[in-house]
Amino acid sequence: MREYHLFKMNAIDELTDRFINYLRIEKGLSNKTIESYSADLNCYFKFLHTHRIYNLSDTDTALLLKHLISLRKQGLNARSRARHLVTLRGFYRFLVKAKVLRRDPVRQIDLPKSSLKLPAVLSVDEIKLLIEAPNTDTPLGVRDKTMLELLYAAGLRVSELITLKTTDINREAGFVKVFGKGSKERIVPIGLYAQKQVDQYLEYSRSQLLKNRTSRFMFVTRSAKPMTRQGFWKLLKRYTLKAGIAKNITPHTFRHSFASHLLEGGADLRAVQIMLGHVDISTTQIYTHVAREHLKSMHQKYHPRS
Residue 201 annotated as catalytic = no
Cα distance between residue 79 and residue 34, in whole Å? 18
Residue 278 annotated as catalytic = yes
* Residue of 84, 143, 181, 261 marked catalytic: 181
- For residue 3, the 8-state DSSP code is -
CB 80 within 8 A of CB 71: yes
Q: What is the DSSP string of 261-291?
A: HHHHTT--HHHHHHHHT-SSHHHHTHHHHHH
* Residue of 24, 252, 289, 294 marked catalytic: 252
Residue 252 annotated as catalytic = yes
Nearby residues of 288 by Cβ (< 8 Å), 6 or more positions away: 263, 269
Residue 171 annotated as catalytic = no
Residue 157 annotated as catalytic = yes
* Residue of 81, 84, 256, 278 marked catalytic: 278
Nearby residues of 7 by Cβ (< 8 Å), 6 or more positions away: 49, 54
What is the number of alpha carbons within 13 Å of residue 187 lying toward its C-beta? Answer: 7
* Residue of 67, 81, 143, 157 marked catalytic: 157
Nearby residues of 242 by Cβ (< 8 Å), 6 or more positions away: 133
158 CB-contact burial (10 Å; exposed 0-12 / middle 13-18 / buried 19+): buried
- For residue 177, the 8-state DSSP code is E
- For residue 101, the 8-state DSSP code is -
* Residue of 67, 143, 145, 255 marked catalytic: 255
SS3 169: strand
Residue 49 annotated as catalytic = no
What is the number of alpha carbons within 13 Å of residue 200 lying toward its C-beta? Answer: 19
State the alpha helices, DSSP H only, in 132-279. Answer: 139-154, 158-162, 191-200, 206-210, 229-242, 251-264, 269-276
- Annotated catalytic sites, by residue? 157, 181, 252, 255, 278, 287
